[in-house]
A = this chain, B = another copy of it.
């Protein structure tokens, strides 16, 4: 059955790339904000949402976790990791050797990710920020008469008919961006164009009070059970300074013994624990969509 998937728009951003690879046969619905995507799942307007959780260019990853902790209770049902691959692109009319733009457009974070390229190959050429890498590509497409260029992904180059004149201009080879799938129902990943990887369980843990050694005590519940943690992050509670919650990723599926045992032990210590989700991790191996 075809599902409706909400994602953080606009079209042709890295989020669109993620949703297109993970759900190639479903209906993608771009939305304006991360909360809009999550509300749409809660209200049954869509089946699932795909939202950024780590290193996103557009949209704050803090908003995703905070909204799931404070506003809507929806389980995480999948994760997808995409390498951040930025390309330098121009209007096809300008795709000749030696073309020098008067201005380069991109999202501010993309500009920050491609500093070595800008410094070495386009030194002194000013850049201007727009609200997304896709918006930058659109602007280049709509203005063939002026000498401008964009930094964006392959999907944007294809969507707006631009020519990539220099590939992979990002500073770090292994930088990636990560998204989660959030849904109230079963998620069907059939036909996905990604590599299926490990299982993961995400917990939200609130400590009863702020005193030294408490986090250490919390982690011992995982440590003596040999539960490997792949992520730990403290976040302010928004109920006042000094109150924190922790997000912890455990590198296994929710089982019947180990994770429930760790949770009981934490609750006995006075912690509040929520299972945010237990799910499969997928990886996109290249930024170039397969067709």
**Residues of A in contact with B (beta carbons under 8 Å apart):** 32-35, 54-55, 58-60, 62-63, 70, 81, 108-109, 111-112, 115, 127, 129-131, 172-176, 210-213, 215-217, 219-220, 222-224, 226-234, 236-242, 244, 246
Contact indicator B60/A174 (Cβ below 8 Å)? no
- 3 tightest Cβ-Cβ pairs between the two chains A and B: A216-B223, A213-B223, A212-B228
Assuming A59-B109, A70-B172, A174-B237, what are 17 further A-B pairs, CB within 8 angstroms? A33-B115, A34-B112, A55-B60, A55-B62, A108-B131, A174-B236, A175-B238, A212-B222, A212-B226, A212-B229, A213-B224, A215-B229, A216-B223, A217-B223, A219-B219, A230-B234, A232-B232
Q: How far is the CB of A172 from chain B (nearest CB, A)?
A: 4
**Copies of this chain present:** 2
Contact indicator A81/B131 (Cβ below 8 Å)? no
Q: How far is the CB of A66 from chain B (nearest CB, A)?
A: 9
Contacts of A242 in B (CB 8 A): 230
Contact indicator A241/B33 (Cβ below 8 Å)? no
Contacts of A237 in B (CB 8 A): 174
Contact indicator B112/A63 (Cβ below 8 Å)? yes
Contact of A216 with B212 at beta-carbon distance under 8 Å, contacts A112-B63, A232-B234 already known: no
Contacts of A173 in B (CB 8 A): 238
Cα A215 to Cα B233 in complex, Å, equals 12
Contacts of A223 in B (CB 8 A): 212-213, 215-217
Cα A260 to Cα B161 in complex, Å, equals 57
Cα A258 to Cα B211 in complex, Å, equals 17
Contacts of A224 in B (CB 8 A): 213
Q: Pull 15 A–B residue pairs with CB atoms less than 8 Å apart, ordered by A.
A: A54-B236, A58-B108, A63-B112, A70-B172, A174-B236, A175-B238, A176-B241, A211-B228, A212-B222, A212-B223, A212-B229, A215-B223, A215-B229, A215-B232, A232-B233
Contact of A109 with B63 at beta-carbon distance under 8 Å, contacts A215-B229, A233-B232 already known: yes
Contacts of A34 in B (CB 8 A): 112
Q: How far is the CB of A2 from chain B (nearest CB, A)?
A: 29
Contact among B174, B233, B236 for A233, CB-based, below 8 A = B233
